[in-house]
């Protein structure tokens, strides 16, 4: 089911990060993971993906606005969780790395890490948008 949606979206032969087939292109969201998570309910998959897209923007804004270690860590932790829920493994790893950053990290290094996370979230959101309205079978 998930593999079919990936093929229909133009990602034939694609794999999720960590699948092991180094010759296949990596897709930003592991739809097989998501299908297991939602018990194959396509409408629920779509709802979860839409929630991921909206919530990740909100959490990213919180991360950029964080003025304390706790606020920083909480926002990164939330991003890590929502990315893992949908199988956005690259974004989850970036958020996990940010969550673990020490407080004394220079601001430019911290900003570069957040930019990398944002790029992975944008990539995942573009992939979700490419799937269409979820009406494919």
Within-domain flag for 23:
yes
* Domain span at 75: 2-130
Model pLDDT, residue 135: 40
Number of domains the chain contains: 1
Residue 136 belongs to some domain of the structure: no
29: domain CATH number is: 1.20.120.160
137, part of any domain? no
Q: Which two tokens stand for residue 40?
A: 């194959």
pTM given for the model:
0.79
135 in any annotated domain:
no
> Torsion angle, CA of 123/113/102/28, rounded to 10 degrees?
20
Residue in 123, 134, 45, 54 with CA at minimum distance from that of residue 89:
123
Q: Give the pLDDT means over successive 10-residue stretches in the chain (137 positions).
A: 44 46 72 94 96 97 94 96 96 96 89 96 96 57
């Amino acid at each position: 089911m998930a593999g079919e949606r990936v093929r229909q979206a133009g990602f034939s032969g694609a794999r999720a990060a960590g699948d092991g087939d180094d010759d296949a292109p990596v897709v930003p969201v592991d739809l097989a993971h998501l299908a297991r998570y939602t018990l194959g309910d396509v409408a629920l998959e779509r709802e979860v993906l839409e929630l991921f897209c909206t919530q990740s923007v909100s959490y990213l804004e919180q991360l950029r606005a964080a003025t304390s270690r706790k606020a920083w860590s909480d926002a990164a932790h939330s991003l890590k969780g929502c990315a893992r829920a949908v199988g956005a493994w690259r974004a989850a790893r970036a958020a996990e790395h940010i969550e673990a950053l020490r407080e004394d990290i220079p601001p430019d290094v911290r900003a570069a890490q957040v930019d990398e996370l944002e790029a992975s979230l944008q990539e995942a959101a573009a992939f979700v948008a490419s799937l269409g309205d979820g009406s494919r079978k």
